[in-house]
Chains A and B, each alone.
Chain A
Amino acid sequence: MMASSLPVATIIGSRIIVLSKTQGAKLYKEGFFGKPVNIHKPKDTEVDAPLELSLFEANYLLEQRRISVESGGRAISLEELAKFSRENFRLFDELYAVYKDLREKGYVVRPGMKFGSDFAVYEYGPGIDHAPFVIHVLPSSAEVDPIEIVRAGRLSHTVRKKFILATLDRSRNKVLYFMFMWWKA
């Protein structure tokens, strides 16, 4: 059976881990999915550790039928995983829409935590690209102070990484990306 050869991701509490080191290494190698546990800057793609997947990655990979996800010894469906994800991550639907859109466009999408944003986006991958785009996601219903725009403009300039604001337009089911650059009037 083909299905049995899929990497298995296991839900442990609120987190998702690929416990098999070989399956984990394969996923990391095939598109920089997940994070090898306790390896901070995986230099080469031959990693020897379990792999933690983000909720976005797990949903995406399950949707793509590239992994199966189990909880308590039972395979769980995409719907169940989405529900679990919403319970464990704020704005999951908006963030996932952006994650998926960028992955479908061929980008490598990694957490943006160290840049203070939601996602860091690479053309080829971390350690290969010079600098990622930095993406901040806001729900389209969010009320923001214009200071957000100033902040976005400042970050674009200072970090040399393009700072992009993303939002999901639910009426068109389309992700919109905005860039703000200081304009010398």
Chain B
Amino acid sequence: MPEPLPKAVMRGNQCFVSGPDADRLHQQGAVGTMEKGVLRLSDVEMLHLVEREKIAVYGEQGEALDFPSLLKLLEGYDSEIWLKFLLYSDLRRRGYTVKPGFGPKLEYRVYERGASVGKEPAKYLVYGLVEGKTVKVSEIASISESAKLSKKDLILAVIDRQGEITYYDTTEVSL
């Protein structure tokens, strides 16, 4: 018999894990935020962990919510949840620790592999761009400026029409 998965309860667009699983998930999975022994997971973290079969999510009435039903529920809160999930989980699968960016954009703070999160700052700012949707050159300039101010390397993640992601290290050079 496989061990039962840690149980999370969804409220709004987040979910919560309590008990001994909370701390373990938080430490080992480098996900969520701990508050008074309860682990709070964000929308993309929840989707990622469900897809990787690391947690089981239930609604407040106790109904089990699988990946497809979670995705549809979360789309109601954020219509771009799919792209956010794609980028988040691609970086996680490559072994990075990923934290949300500061804006509502497709943006993550990414820690070097093996970095101790909380003790050192994120090394990269990863910003998603979507094929078919134009971006102003001035927007790239301002993202680059804000990455520079927070001393992070800017990585532009170009997401193609089928969700394939290619990353480009972007540097402002002085020549």
Query: A residues touching B (Cβ–Cβ < 8 Å)?
Result: 102, 105, 107, 121, 133, 138-147, 149-150, 152-153, 164-165, 167, 169, 176-185
List the A side residues contacting B11 at CB < 8 Å. none
23 contacts across the A-B interface (CB closer than 8 A) = A139-B137, A141-B136, A141-B138, A143-B134, A143-B135, A143-B136, A144-B134, A144-B137, A145-B135, A146-B159, A164-B175, A165-B137, A176-B141, A177-B173, A177-B174, A178-B170, A178-B173, A179-B173, A180-B156, A180-B168, A185-B91, A185-B96, A185-B167
* Residue of B136, B155, B172 touching A183 (CB-CB under 8 A): B155
| Contact assessment for B173 and A146 in the assembled complex, using a CB-CB cutoff below 8 Å | no
Chain B residues 58 to 84 lying within 8 A of chain A, measured CB to CB, are none
Q: Is B94 an interface residue (CB 8 A)?
A: yes
| Contact assessment for A177 and B135 in the assembled complex, using a CB-CB cutoff below 8 Å | no
Rounded to whole angstroms, the CA-CA distance of A164 and B169 in the bound complex is 13
Q: Is B130 an interface residue (CB 8 A)?
A: yes
Of listed B96, B130, B140, B155, residue having the most chain A CB within 10 A: B140
Q: Which residue of A lies closest to B165 (CB)?
A: A185
List the A side residues contacting B173 at CB < 8 Å. 164, 177-179
List the A side residues contacting B137 at CB < 8 Å. 138-142, 144, 165, 167
Number of A-B contacts (CB under 8 A): 95
Query: B residues touching A (Cβ–Cβ < 8 Å)?
Result: 90-91, 94, 96, 129-138, 140-141, 144, 155-156, 158-159, 166-175
| Contact assessment for B156 and A140 in the assembled complex, using a CB-CB cutoff below 8 Å | no
Q: Which residue of A lies closest to B90 (CB)?
A: A185
List the A side residues contacting B155 at CB < 8 Å. 183, 185
Given A145-B131, A145-B132, A145-B134, answer yes or no on A140-B141 (Cβ-Cβ < 8 Å).
Answer: yes
- Shortest C-beta distance, B126 to chain A (Å), equals 9
* Residue of A107, A138, A142, A180 touching B169 (CB-CB under 8 A): A180
| Contact assessment for A169 and B135 in the assembled complex, using a CB-CB cutoff below 8 Å | no
List the B side residues contacting A181 at CB < 8 Å. 168-169, 171
| Contact assessment for B168 and A176 in the assembled complex, using a CB-CB cutoff below 8 Å | no
| Contact assessment for A169 and B141 in the assembled complex, using a CB-CB cutoff below 8 Å | yes
- Shortest C-beta distance, B84 to chain A (Å), equals 16
Rounded to whole angstroms, the CA-CA distance of A183 and B91 in the bound complex is 12
Known: A147-B158, A149-B168, A181-B171. 4 other contacts (CB 8 A): A164-B175, A178-B171, A185-B91, A185-B155
| Contact assessment for A179 and B171 in the assembled complex, using a CB-CB cutoff below 8 Å | yes
| Contact assessment for A144 and B135 in the assembled complex, using a CB-CB cutoff below 8 Å | yes
Of listed A102, A107, A139, A185, residue having the most chain B CB within 10 A: A185
